[in-house]
């Protein structure tokens, strides 16, 4: 029976390690890290994530401000808003809450972020640095999956890793991170499923990470004996939240598995806070020409 990988415990460790760093920033550099979330119109789907951001920021002594802009804002005004946040020394991190209204192109807007304020790691410069294994700010959910895997003490070298889902903010960066750790990494996507080859790949996985958003896409019987399973998917099934992996079956075969909810989600928010602290240090470094620790 698999051991459950609860995100809360891993998140607490990350946040505890941030407390001292935040105190140092305040005491030595008069810097209280500040995070600005920008949402365009009200989106009920974002409210859980926004509440978690606010709560985590409050607990860590981070300044948090949510800007809710008019749903009809045009591209130029939104870009000007972002440029003002870039120029504001009191703002260390910017989040653009997705999805945006259909008239706005999220990738284009994010490309106007100052890369050292891009705490969700979605600017092209930050995504590109993952290839070089030099990213200071990388996508939070991909980093969260790596932290969860690290918590098991796994040695990645030569392991068969399978990532299901190739989105630009989760699956692709995660696959590169695994590759950087010398895992033999396979990426499955919609075409893999359409050719009927998903099961074949999943069965090889010593490390299985699924980020698709389809309830029970992965049958528990496909999971390799002793695998580590990180289920990133979140799906509403009736009144329950479930992942992409059929949990009961997978739990019988895996060595470790994340529950949904309570697995990846809390770690993602802790990584966001870690990225903010890193961003604040990068900005002090840029300003003063020396690294602040
Ligand atoms: P996304 O952008 O919709 O990407 C889903 C990926 O799954 C795409 O690459 C898609 O391929 C692929 N896919 C679709 N059907 C498939 C199939 N039958 N077989 C194999 N691959 C298939 O979603 P995302 O932003 O990566 O998020 C994925 C899930 O993770 C969602 O449930 C989301 O809610 C959850 N999530 C959780 C957290 C957290 O903190 N817990 C954070 C972020 C996301 P194509 O693009 O080729 O169709």
Give the structural domain span for 67.
29-114
In a domain, 104, yes or no: yes
How would DSSP label each residue in 257-268? Answer: E--SSSSHHHHH
Same domain, 97 and 210: no
From 284, 262, 287, select the one nearest 144 (Cα to Cα): 262
Instruction: Identify the bridge partners of residue 240 per DSSP, sorted by sequence position.
Output: 237
In a domain, 52, yes or no: yes
pLDDT of 266 over the 90 cut: yes
For residue range 239-265, what is the model confidence (pLDDT) as tens digits?
999 999 999 999 999 999 999 999 999
Same domain, 182 and 225: yes
Share of the chain above pLDDT 70, in %: 99
Same domain, 153 and 250: yes
Bond from prior residue into 81 cis (ω within 30 degrees of 0): no
In a domain, 276, yes or no: no
For residue range 24-44, what is the model confidence (pLDDT) as tens digits?
999 999 999 999 999 999 887
CATH number of residue 73's parent domain: 3.40.50.10860
In a domain, 195, yes or no: yes
Q: Is there an atom of ligand 1 within 6 Å of 220 CB?
A: no
Query: Ligand 1 centre and the CA of 72: distance in Å?
Result: 28
pLDDT of 47 over the 90 cut: no
Same domain, 144 and 254: yes
Same domain, 84 and 188: no
Same domain, 40 and 93: yes
Q: Which residues contact 247 (CB under 8 A, 6 or more apart)?
A: 220, 231, 257, 259, 260
Q: How confident is the model at residue 46 (pLDDT cuts 50, 70, 90)?
A: confident
Q: How confident is the model at residue 290 (pLDDT cuts 50, 70, 90)?
A: low
Query: Ligand 1 centre and the CA of 212: distance in Å?
Result: 3
Write down the mean pLDDT value for the chain: 96
In a domain, 105, yes or no: yes
For residue range 66-110, what is the model confidence (pLDDT) as tens digits?
999 999 999 999 999 999 999 999 999 999 999 999 999 999 999
Same domain, 172 and 259: yes
Q: Which of 8, 167, 175, 198 to mutate to test the pocket of ligand 1 (most atoms within 8 A of CB)?
A: 167
Same domain, 47 and 104: yes
Same domain, 259 and 172: yes
Q: What token pair was written down for 218? A: 């992965």
* pLDDT mean over 170-179: 98
Answer yes or no: are the C-beta atoms of 61 and 87 closer than 8 Å: no
Start-to-end CA distance of the chain, whole Å, equals: 42
In a domain, 176, yes or no: yes
Same domain, 224 and 165: yes
In a domain, 22, yes or no: no
From 11, 12, 4, select the one nearest 229 (Cα to Cα): 4
In a domain, 160, yes or no: yes
Which atom of ligand 1 is nearest to 194's Cα?
18
Rounded to an integer, what distance in angstroms lies between the CA atom of residue 224 and that of residue 45?
A: 34
Answer yes or no: are the C-beta atoms of 218 and 246 closer than 8 Å: yes
Rounded to an integer, what distance in angstroms lies between the CA atom of residue 7 and that of residue 9?
A: 6
Instruction: Identify the bridge partners of residue 4 per DSSP, sorted by sequence position.
Output: 257
Q: How confident is the model at residue 292 (pLDDT cuts 50, 70, 90)?
A: very low
> What total number of domains does the chain contain?
2
Sign of CA dihedral 193, 196, 197, 200: positive
Same domain, 205 and 106: no
Rounded to an integer, what distance in angstroms lies between the CA atom of residue 172 and that of residue 170?
A: 6
Rounded to an integer, what distance in angstroms lies between the CA atom of residue 127 and that of residue 134?
A: 10
CATH number of residue 214's parent domain: 3.40.50.720
Instruction: Give the pLDDT confidence score for residue 288 in this predicted structure.
Output: 78
């Amino acid at each position: 029976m698999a051991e459950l990988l609860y995100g809360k415990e891993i998140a607490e460790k990350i946040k505890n390690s941030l407390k001292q760093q935040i105190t140092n920033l305040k005491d030595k550099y008069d810097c209280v890290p500040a995070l600005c979330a920008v949402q365009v119109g009200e989106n009920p789907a974002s409210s859980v994530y926004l509440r978690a951001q606010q709560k985590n920021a409050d607990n860590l002594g981070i300044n948090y401000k949510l800007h809710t802009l008019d749903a009809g804002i045009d591209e130029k005004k939104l870009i000007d808003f972002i440029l003002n946040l870039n120029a504001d020394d009191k703002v260390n991190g910017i989040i653009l809450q997705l999805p945006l209204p259909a008239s706005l192109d999220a990738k284009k807007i994010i490309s106007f972020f100052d890369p050292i304020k891009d705490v969700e790691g979605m600017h092209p410069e930050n995504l590109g640095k993952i290839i070089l294994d030099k990213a200071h700010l990388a996508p939070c959910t991909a980093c969260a999956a790596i932290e969860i895997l690290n918590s098991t003490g796994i040695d990645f070298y030569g392991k068969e890793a399978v990532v299901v889902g190739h989105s630009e903010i989760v699956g692709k960066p995660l696959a590169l991170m695994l590759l950087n750790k010398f895992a033999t990494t396979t990426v499955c996507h919609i075409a893999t499923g359409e050719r009927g080859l998903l099961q074949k790949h999943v069965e090889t996985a010593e490390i299985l990470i699924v980020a698709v958003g389809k309830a029970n896409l992965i049958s528990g019987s496909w999971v390799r004996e002793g695998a580590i399973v990180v289920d990133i998917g979140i799906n509403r099934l009736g009144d329950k939240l479930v992942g992409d992996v059929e949990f009961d079956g997978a739990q019988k075969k895996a060595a470790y598995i994340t529950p949904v909810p309570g697995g990846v989600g809390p770690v993602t928010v802790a990584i966001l806070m870690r990225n903010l602290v890193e961003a604040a240090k990068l900005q002090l470094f840029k300003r003063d020409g020396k690294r602040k620790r």
